[in-house]
Chains A and B, each alone.
Chain A
Amino acid sequence: MTPTDSLSRASSRRAGRRSLAGTLERVLPRLVVAPSLAVALFFVYGYMLWTFILSLTGSRMLPQYNFVGLEQYARLFANERWHVAATNLVVFGGLFIAICLVLGLALAIFLDQRIRQEGALRTIYLYPMALSLIVTGVVWRWLLNPSLGIEALVQSWGFENFRFDWLVDPDMAIYTLVIAAVWQASGFVMALFLAGLRGIDDSLFKAAALDGASLPRVYWRIVLPCLRPVVFSAVMILAHIAIKSFDLVMALTGGGPGYATDLPATFMYAHTFTRGQIGLGSASAIMMLCGVLAILIPYLYSELRERKHG
């Protein structure tokens, strides 16, 4: 073997080792994310697909694969209880989002006036978010229970005619859900708005003061338009909380009285798991997915477009 030979072989071995390290460096990140990606693909998107397939079948107690086309969707839209659930979602979601936004914005504006003890107040308002919706539901169930809670308390103060029995009134029960959900989420919306307000240049307020704008005007004309992205994010988050709402209903009203406070999520649960209507339940689940996508896709579209315009 000539010295040149061994030299070139050594260098080629070194090159080989280098390329192995290079390959590893390239592949390692993918290797690390692969398990979680696989899990997400299977358990989220796989089951989504399975639910969709089931919604096209006549499954009742157990999954069956006797395809019936869109019949389950036809049954769903003919179902009185689904109509109640869908209407409830509109009422609950609309009020919940609107009240949370108004309340959250108001709290944020007040907290932004450089008040004392702001940190403590912020924590107090934000704290309900730390509770599980189940806990919120149970607490408000007791508070709203006519014979235990607020009504009983006020009556014991001597106001015998005081009535606050929304929880057991089929026409009003849906509003108790709004009260509890607003209590839970408005602090969070406040935090979002507060962060947005803190991002606004102080000199904007000064400039507006010199221009002669009153404080409400400043907020309406200058600050709120700056907060539009925050409003958008808040609506997104609140809307999906509203559509997913299940635990709160279960803990607070259990869907009752009757099915007066059914939401699509509780409708889906009841039909899929307790009433042996897997096909119908799956169809309602797919309709909820469509609802989420109807909100999400325009949002993603506008976000991505904005990024491109950068």
Chain B
Amino acid sequence: MSALEIRNVRKTFGDTEVLKEISLAIDSGEFLILVGPSGCGKSTLMNAIAGLEPVTAGEIHIGGEDVTWRTPAERDIAMVFQSYALYPSMTVRQNIAFGLEMRKVPKAERDQAVERVADLLQISQLLDRKPSQLSGGQRQRVAMGRALAREPQIYLFDEPLSNLDAKLRVEMRTEIKKLHQRLGTTIVYVTHDQIEAMTLADRIAIMRDGHILQLGTPDEVYNDPADMFVAGFMGSPAMNFLSASLEGGPGEYRVRVETEGAQAPLVLPWPVERETEALASQVGRPVTLGLRPEHFSEEDERLGDQAEGTRFEATTTVVEPTGADTLLQVRLSGVEATVRLGPKSRIKAGDRIALRVDMSRAVLFSTEDESRLA
């Protein structure tokens, strides 16, 4: 049985359609992340699940019950907000217990719940403080504690880490993941940060303009994106999109990429096992080749022709060492392409270098409508 099921939900504000026929279902214990650029409708969808915004059409089921027209309080959900939304005049203890108090849970049970949650999140020493006396990370913990105290069926997280600084954000991310693994809770989590989405989610729903473009595991959306938007949105540095043309026929398709200057064009054989029906109609037409930075590698002279992939040469324009990797910008096909190499690379800007490209995970899009071809 699915913990949450959304059926054909639509939401309009006046003439603007914010959610267009959204349907999805998640299982109990699953961690779903809604990700997308601002204005894509992900927060509206979350508010609709929470019952804070009535939907225009469609149904929402939680734990098998139709809750479409129930109030937020009647839906058995808890929410963690971006601004934490802690009640400023109450102590941490009162904040955590407030939801239980409103539900007329006896005092002894409330105290027990507070103790349990405080132990779990290691905030026992903060219980008698006011929110204004806490740091950002501590407030975040309290906000999570308030949600956990009620033990609802579904937890909603609305960009919970956006207000934290970079280091704390990574820490809290790990913390949330641990918590989810330990408690096996069902979580719907909204973020615009694709790294958060990749690291936390069991499944990711990528949204744009009120549609869900793709719903899949992090591996699926990263390696098998539904279209060019998803491919470009997931992954950092972003996927390289190269203008190319398709040649050949079934069994021997080739992608031809023009390189800079008087160089011979780069002709990349398309892996046979990744051929699709859609390719046939695109022969001789412009297509977009999607290559992730890690699909490139530095030519290893010792391997010679034994090495996998196609060899080509390019001029580096920028070198960005990040410590763990070195990112290069090279000129290719009229655009700068990002290449991710190992940290030992000694390349300097302006160097002419030999690279190999691994086509086994490359993706091909139609230039016209940005849909996935292969």
List residues of chain A with CB under 8 Å of any chain B CB.
Answer: 201, 203-204, 206-213, 217, 221-222, 225-226, 228
Contact of A206 with B102 at beta-carbon distance under 8 Å, contacts A201-B85, A225-B88, A226-B89 already known = no
Chain B minimum-CB-distance residue to A211: B99
Query: Which of the candidate stretches B74-82, B268-276, B309-317 sits at the interface with the other chain?
Result: B74-82
Pick from A206, A209, A222, A228: contact of B87, CB below 8 A: A222
- From the candidates A203, A204, A210, name the one contacting B73 in the complex (CB within 8 A): A210
Inter-chain contact B83/A203, CB cutoff 8 Å:
yes
Task: Tally chain B residues at the interface, Cβ within 8 Å.
Answer: 22
* A213 CA to B101 CA, complexed, in Å: 9
Partner of B85, one of A203, A213, A225, A226: A203
State how many angstroms separate the Cβ of A187 from the closest Cβ of chain B: 27
Which residues from A are CB-within-8-Å of B257? Answer: none
For residue B103, CB closer than 8 A to chain A, the reply is: yes
Assess whether B72 is interfacial by the CB under 8 Å rule. yes
Question: Cβ of A225 and Cβ of B72 under 8 Å apart?
Answer: no
Residue pairs across A and B with Cβ atoms less than 8 A apart, 21 shown, are A201-B83, A203-B81, A203-B82, A203-B83, A203-B85, A206-B79, A207-B81, A207-B146, A208-B87, A209-B72, A209-B73, A210-B52, A210-B99, A211-B99, A211-B102, A211-B146, A211-B150, A212-B102, A217-B102, A221-B98, A226-B89
Determine whether the beta carbon of A226 is less than 8 Å from that of B88. yes
B75 to chain A, nearest CB (A): 8
- C-alpha gap A204/B90 in the complex (Å): 12
| Distance to closest chain A CB from B47 (angstroms) | 8
Identity of the chain B residue whose Cβ is nearest the Cβ of A226 in the assembled complex: B88
8 Å CB interface, B270-322 against A: none
CA–CA, A213 and B102, complex, Å: 6
| CA gap between A66 and B98 in the complex, in Å | 67
Residues from chain B with a CB closer than 8 A to the CB of A210 are 50, 52, 72-73, 77-79, 99
Residue of A206, A212, A222 touching B89 (CB-CB under 8 A): A222
A212 with B103, Cβ < 8 A, contacts A206-B79, A207-B79 known: yes
Contact B102–A204 (Cβ < 8 Å): no
Give the docked Cα–Cα distance between A132 and B83 (Å).
Answer: 43
**Across the interface, do A204 and B85 meet the contact criterion of CB distance under 8 Å?**
yes
Judged by DSSP, the binding face of A is: helix
A-contacting residues, B80-111, CB 8 Å: 81-83, 85, 87-90, 98-99, 102-103
A222 to B146, CA, bound (A): 15
- Specify the chain A residue showing the minimal Cβ separation from B89: A225
Given contacts A204-B87, A222-B87, contact A209 B71 (CB under 8 A): yes
- The distance in angstroms between the C-alpha atoms of A228 and B89, with both chains bound, is 10
Known: A203-B81, A226-B89; 16 extra A-B contacts, CB below 8 A, are A204-B87, A207-B87, A207-B146, A209-B73, A210-B50, A210-B52, A210-B73, A210-B99, A211-B99, A211-B102, A212-B73, A221-B98, A222-B87, A225-B89, A226-B88, A228-B89
| A211-B73 contact, Cβ under 8 Å, with A204-B87, A217-B102, A222-B87 | yes
Chain A CB within 10 A, most for which of B79, B85, B146: B85
Inter-chain CA distance A209–B50, complex, in Å, is: 10
Closest chain A CB from B186 CB (angstroms): 16
Which residues of chain A are within 8 angstroms of B89 by Cβ–Cβ distance? 222, 225-226, 228
Complex-state Cα separation, A309 to B255, whole angstroms: 67
Q: Give the chain B neighbours of A228 by CB distance below 8 A.
A: 89
How far, in angstroms, from A300 to B72 measured CA to CA in the complex? 43
Residues of A within 8 A of B71 (CB): 209
Query: What is the CB-to-nearest-CB distance from B212 to chain A, in angstroms, rounded to a whole number?
Result: 24
